[in-house]
């Protein structure tokens, strides 16, 4: 599996977990917001790695 795909999969997983923690009644709304933010960072990293691989 290409390295950028693993970053994108991780970002999607973290974002989904963040949305679940934010919307469902787990009492961890701020924890969910952090998961969404970290997922966004990994998405940016994944796109950057994809761009680097395509330019080679």
Say what the pLDDT of residue 6 is: 92
Q: What is the pTM of this model?
A: 0.84
- Summarize pLDDT for 3-55 with one digit per residue, the tens: 889 999 999 999 999 999 889 877 778 889 999 999 999 999 999 999 988 88
Say what the pLDDT of residue 8 is: 93
Say what the pLDDT of residue 56 is: 76
- Cβ atoms of residues 39 and 22 within 8 Å: no
- Cβ atoms of residues 36 and 20 within 8 Å: no
Report residue 24 as tokens.
């469902």
**pLDDT greater at residue 2 or residue 19:** 19
User: Helix (H, G, I), strand (E, B), or coil: what is residue 24?
Assistant: coil
Listed by start position, the domains of the chain span: 3-55
């Amino acid at each position: 599996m290409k390295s950028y795909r693993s970053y994108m999969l991780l970002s999607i997983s973290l974002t989904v977990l963040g949305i679940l923690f934010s919307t469902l009644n787990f009492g961890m709304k701020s924890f969910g917001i952090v998961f969404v933010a970290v997922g966004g960072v990994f998405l940016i990293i994944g796109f950057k790695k994809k761009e680097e691989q395509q330019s080679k």
